[in-house]
């Protein structure tokens, strides 16, 4: 069982991005995330985008470590003036409560409120993570999901 003291959030470094890139190649994870880049296999584009974001003052990126092993990432970014949360957990770590613990820890570091989360309608795991951390579903939207090559519904969550 994973406990809070086994998880550490550290500031993301450029070297972490290589591991994050590998995580986001997982086909099942891509499907659940839904709203992904058009070509998730384009490593140069991925590294270029996230390397730039490391220096962006409105972005707060952390690397999730479980017993000193990179297990995922979590970030706050701004979209149309609103603070948004995003996270990605490597599939090897799914179902162990890591997303929930990491998000709770992150929310003690990131003070922007309200903060929003968006999740594909059928990504039940991510919906549970947000709800366990106090986010409330406030609406829904539709958008084109590159991973599914279709317009799908997403749920919008908010934490005040």
Per-residue pLDDT at 2 exceeds 90: no
**pLDDT at residue 159, rounded to an integer:** 98
Per-residue pLDDT at 132 exceeds 90: yes
Residue 55's domain comprises: 4-116
Can you list the positions of beta strands (E) in 6-149? 7-11, 60-66, 69-79, 82-89, 115-120, 136-145
Whether 35 is covered by a domain: the verdict is yes
**pLDDT at residue 82, rounded to an integer:** 97
Whether 53 is covered by a domain: the verdict is yes
Rounded to 10 deg, the angle between the 98-109 and 124-132 helix axes is 40
Per-residue pLDDT at 1 exceeds 80: no
Whether 123 is covered by a domain: the verdict is no
- Distance CA(56)–CA(51), nearest Å, equals 9
For the stretch 52-67, pLDDT in tens is: 999 999 999 999 999 9
Question: 74 near 80, Cβ under 8 Å?
Answer: no
Contacting residues for 95 by C-beta, under 8 A, at least 6 apart: 125
Per the listing, tokens 């409120």 go with 113
Residue 149 pLDDT grade (very low, low, confident, very high; cuts 50, 70, 90): very high
């Amino acid at each position: 069982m994973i406990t809070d003291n086994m998880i550490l959030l550290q500031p993301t470094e450029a070297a972490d991005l290589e591991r994050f890139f590998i995580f986001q190649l997982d086909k099942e994870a891509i499907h659940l995330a839904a709203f992904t880049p058009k070509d998730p296999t384009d490593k140069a584009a991925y590294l270029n985008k996230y390397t730039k974001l490391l220096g962006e003052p409105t972005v707060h990126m952390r690397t999730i470590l479980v017993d000193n092993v990179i297990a995922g990432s979590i970030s706050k970014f701004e979209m149309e003036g609103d603070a948004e949360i995003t996270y990605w957990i490597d599939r090897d770590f799914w179902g162990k409560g890591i997303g929930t613990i990491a998000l709770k820890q992150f929310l003690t570091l990131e003070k922007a409120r309200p903060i929003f989360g968006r999740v594909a309608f059928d990504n039940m795991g991510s919906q549970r993570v947000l709800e366990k951390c106090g986010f409330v579903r406030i609406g829904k939207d539709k958008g084109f999901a590159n991973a599914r090559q279709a317009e799908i519904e997403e749920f919008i969550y908010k934490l005040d």
